[in-house]
A and B are shown apart, each in its own frame.
Chain A
């Protein structure tokens, strides 16, 4: 098996809106290798989120192929996709999507709960994931007792805890101010150095500058796909 983590071929995603048919993705082909750090950019409505949802197995394409870590996943059943999401994918959302009543630790434990990891092992792994994002001292806080940046780091810890093949982030700094954005980006940068494959969507050039490859979407198609020398915050 090659080090290809993601391989999509001619991906199409259409939405039916009453009589109208909207093509959010109009044939996207893309390869992402292990440990790549990819930023996806593009104007609003260009299909970035649609693409991320398909890559994250939250959604299935209308047509096209999607190979994730060597497995074709575009035609799998609901439950099979849930399994893939649990094992292979870590997803970070713009709005954090933490469970408000659960503590940071319990939030991070969730993927392990559904992965069938129990007891002490589960707690230890969740704790380690929180330590990796610098929140070892906030485990028992609930989301409303954490700052936005801290919440997003909890979400990242949760995405990491199952050691996914790919970490996907859709505008992870979209709800954060510039200082906390920098904190969060430092976490992504460090993870990438440690070997994590990362794809993130952003509107901001500053954020995209952290990646070593920038894919630009326009009208559901890839307009450009460029490698760059990344700039890293100290």
Chain B
């Protein structure tokens, strides 16, 4: 019997018992759907973290000197309590780092958590929840900001505490329609009137949130308005990625000297680059990637055993049919092939169904949440191979039993 024949037979018998077939492969459907969906979500988050979060938070070829490390969420409570006693990062620290790194492209100071989200208004129009940072001018270099209108903040603006602001593209369009019209106008940031000096080129969206909804104020203006933040951060941008590690070491030295730490004393600050964020993320997904195969393996094993049982039942039910086929000239391998193809077809259909459900679920996540879940080709390939493999692995025994039946005895079966 040709494979074509065997496949037709298999699909026929699956079709005549749709519901039973569905429940037979439910284990595989669920396992595969789980695999596809989880991988899609993790991959989506990975892409997000790599491309957007790290650059948005730290900048390219950059590192930060922070009060607390980036991966704060991973620290134990004792660590946090201990670190709470650290001195805050100050303008003096920024100056010390600048002195130690004359080759840096930019050394900036920026305010951090808790970042105020305030209302920004102009002439009857307003925009709520606009995040506001206080910065030194080089911050705009660290983040590679370009300007569509007006100019960047400059050193005198900080020194002389000028009531100026540089605003994100979306804030400008929201309040002025045309960003060019914003320059020179007075806006109210949390009721404080400041004049718009420049509008930053659009950065787009990630996680469904605009990266262009912010206001930058001179550090001095910000502190007048909101007071000093706990987590003021020094950002350093080098010209190339290769310079970053050495620069981090020199910055660490400069900071230790500035804070007058003795040789054995541990740092009372953190030097982090985007890698720290990625490493943190990788360790998190690493745990997930270790757990997923185990869960899928258990699901597939259970699914496979169900398939084996159902196939043994099918052989039992169709003993007479097998006898008839053998009496007409079916060889062992013909019968074995018929049942093996059936279990493979079943399991593969289960795999396909699982992929469909998993992809649908990932799509749902992508639409309903800001996470950009993305189904990966390899997870689909693995799923289908897993499906087919399960069909073979757990179909061999029932098929072999069917093939060994004696035609006369089989034909006498009820």
- Interfacial residues, chain A to chain B (CB-CB below 8 A): 53, 56, 58-59, 78-79, 82-83, 85-87, 91, 93, 97-99, 101, 110-111, 113-116, 118, 158, 162
Cα of A83 to Cα of B327 in the assembled complex, Å: 10
> What residue of chain A has the Cβ atom nearest to residue B321's Cβ?
A99
Say whether, besides A53-B408, A58-B408, A113-B5, A87 and B321 are in contact (CB < 8 Å).
no
Determine whether the beta carbon of A86 is less than 8 Å from that of B333: no
Determine whether the beta carbon of B333 is less than 8 Å from that of A58: no
Cα of A193 to Cα of B200 in the assembled complex, Å: 101
- Contact flags (1/0) for B1-45 with A, using CB distance below 8 Å? 110010000001000100000000000000000000000000000
Cα of A58 to Cα of B407 in the assembled complex, Å: 7
Determine whether the beta carbon of B332 is less than 8 Å from that of A115: no
Cα of A148 to Cα of B323 in the assembled complex, Å: 21
Determine whether the beta carbon of B331 is less than 8 Å from that of A114: yes
> What residue of chain A has the Cβ atom nearest to residue B2's Cβ?
A118
Determine whether the beta carbon of A82 is less than 8 Å from that of B324: no
Determine whether the beta carbon of B408 is less than 8 Å from that of A113: no
Give the residue of B16, B331, B332, B411 whose beta carbon is less than 8 angstroms from that of A97. Answer: B411
Determine whether the beta carbon of A82 is less than 8 Å from that of B331: yes
Cα of A224 to Cα of B408 in the assembled complex, Å: 27
Q: How many residues of B contact A (CB 8 A)?
A: 22
Cα of A59 to Cα of B407 in the assembled complex, Å: 8
Say whether, besides A97-B324, A99-B321, A118-B2, A111 and B332 are in contact (CB < 8 Å).
no
In the complex, 10 of the A-B residue pairs with CB atoms within 8 angstroms, ordered by the A residue number, are: A53-B408, A58-B408, A85-B328, A97-B411, A99-B321, A99-B324, A101-B16, A110-B325, A114-B325, A118-B2
Determine whether the beta carbon of B332 is less than 8 Å from that of A83: no
Give the Cβ gap from A109 to chain B, nearest Cβ, in Å.
10
Chain A residues positioned under 8 Å from B332 (CB to CB): 78-79, 82
Give the Cβ gap from A118 to chain B, nearest Cβ, in Å.
7
Q: What 9 A-B pairs have minimum CB-CB distances, sorted nearest first?
A: A86-B329, A114-B329, A79-B331, A82-B331, A111-B328, A97-B324, A85-B329, A114-B330, A110-B328
Determine whether the beta carbon of A85 is less than 8 Å from that of B327: yes
Chain A residues positioned under 8 Å from B408 (CB to CB): 53, 58-59
B334 interface hit (Cβ, 8 Å)? yes
In the complex, besides A86-B328, A97-B320, 9 extra interface pairs with C-beta distance below 8 angstroms are A58-B327, A58-B407, A79-B333, A82-B329, A91-B327, A93-B411, A99-B324, A114-B329, A114-B334
Q: Which of A83, A93, A99 has the most CB of B within 10 A?
A: A99
Cα of A78 to Cα of B407 in the assembled complex, Å: 10
Determine whether the beta carbon of B331 is less than 8 Å from that of A158: no
Give the Cβ gap from A112 to chain B, nearest Cβ, in Å.
9
Cα of A78 to Cα of B330 in the assembled complex, Å: 10
Chain A residues positioned under 8 Å from B334 (CB to CB): 114
Say whether, besides A53-B408, A97-B411, A114 and B2 are in contact (CB < 8 Å).
no
> What residue of chain B has the Cβ atom nearest to residue A49's Cβ?
B408
Determine whether the beta carbon of A114 is less than 8 Å from that of B324: no
Chain B residues positioned under 8 Å from A87 (CB to CB): 329
Chain A residues positioned under 8 Å from B407 (CB to CB): 58
Chain B residues positioned under 8 Å from A78 (CB to CB): 331-332
B326 interface hit (Cβ, 8 Å)? yes
Chain A residues positioned under 8 Å from B324 (CB to CB): 97-99, 110
> What residue of chain B has the Cβ atom nearest to residue A86's Cβ?
B329
Chain A residues positioned under 8 Å from B16 (CB to CB): 101
